Structure 1
Amino acid sequence: MDDHAAFPQRFEALRVGVDRRLAELAPPVGSAPDRLVEAVRYALLAPGKRFRPMVTLLAAAEFGAPEGAALDAACAFEMIHAASLILDDLPSMDDAGLRRGLPTIHRAFDEATAILAGVGLLNQAYAVIAADAGLPGPLRADLTARAAQAVGFSGLIAGQARDLFDRDRLRDQATLDRLNHEKTGVLIIAAAQGGAAIAGASEAAVEAVGLFARHIGLAFQIRDDLIDAQGSTEAAGKDVGKDAAMTTVVSTLGPAGARQAMEGHLASASNALAGVGRGDLLGAYVGGLFAGRKAAA
């Protein structure tokens, strides 16, 4: 039986371990032009919760993976997330000026360097998975496929395109859920299911973890919409108010309705893991992140 009182310390130790390993996996000085290396390390190692790698590590732990078995895969998912933020913030996309409390990459460096850093991080993520000698070849291939699908034309890329091309149109709840699933949920699903797969979880368990992650992704996006509508730049660590002219869950349901929808997704996530007799670690971790319902995503 897990000691729930020790969970916060365990979670912090895992996060610190992710930060340490990310610093090791990031391109070292001299491996590429200095400006590019500096930009990549600036983006990848900026302070953050490391939510996606934490989900990978905790999903692996839920199903009995040896300690450290999922660490490199977890870091690969963080690289993908960092790359997506770089590209999402570009002037041709959301034109953001602040991310994680720091100037965005194209502001701190320049737009060309930001694009190269984002593309480089995406490729480095795949390389990290492929080079993980602690995992059997078929599992590495499976993880790479999950990561690529999360990025591609049914994942982050599709979601960003849909957001750009359709942002002036009215969106119903089903359309918003699809958009939010692609922009946020798909990568969280890949990270969570990747951790379960590393642990050798059953197909039913991997599916349950995916359902958990799907609902968590939708809950996170609603919280992000609430922060954009009601939060401050200082507290969020990023620009807010950028979605004011767009149709979001908050503008569709109102703040109270959006919070209710978020709570519904959190409950559904918990039920998904309860169905396979798991969820202590993931449930406690996600519960802590949503405890105040105000922290930035």
Structure 2
Amino acid sequence: MNISKQIPIVDATKITRKEFESTYLRPQKPVILRGLWKQYPAYDKWTMDYFKQSMGDIEVELFSSKQANPSETLKVAHAKMRFDKYLDLIEKEPTDLRLFLFPVFKHKPELIKDFGYPKITGRYLKIPFMFFGPAGSITRMHQDIDLSNVFLTQFAGKKRVVLFAPDQSELLYRLPFNVHSTVDIDNPDYDTYPGLKFAEGCTGLLEHGDTLFMPSGYWHHIEYVEGGFGLSVRTLGASIGTIVKGGFNVTIRRKFDDLMRAMFDQKWFNYKKKIAFKRAEKAMQKVNKNNGGNSQPAYN
């Protein structure tokens, strides 16, 4: 597995909308936009202390990747806690509990005034979410089911991000009917998952004020290097086909997967894993054929 390639970083104040859309959006290439949110009050205003003081008394639902079923989307919370106590926890103590897809604006609507939707592109889905996590916690590798483009901005702490393009899905052992994989890219098991030897991705580090543009369908593995939080806004997929497929994933494919899992549980999971391994084997054969029959990965 090769993830040595770095996600490019550009100064958001020096790139035009035309340049961004021609270089990154239309070709669907990831980039870190440094300082994109400097134009908004949230850039300096949103801190741990600010959220503790302004909405610390609300109860939040927390999720643990360690306790999660690897074959399904996290839906049922593993713990509940006052928001200010949780923020204290992720600043000071080790924990695996994360707060994700948090609709903070439902609890404090006036926060909407602290930010906008950068004019670097358009077609925003104006449903922003926040993500909070402690140092060392992991967001397991997955694709976003709606296949939207994502702008993920970091406000506190640091995150390590590893991305893989959608064309790497088979080599990453994507489970059919959903958007997950069972591989651990931090500790790759090449004996069990030989396709990982051929997978190629890229890596980046998000710090305060950095915005990651993550194109539609990109696999992402995120590690909180420090306790902190970020916010994501989305835009429609780059093509009509992508938009339709994303809608199908959300409305039909996920419901079918949920139904089959409820009916067959482990048998369904094992069936999906079997398909994933068959697809990975075909993908490896294709790579080998493209490499002139060389059984080794295409990089040194």
TM-score normalized with structure 1 length: 0.30
Higher relative contact order (CA 8 A, sep 6+): 2
Larger radius of gyration: 2
Looking at secondary structure, tell me which structure has more strand per residue: 2
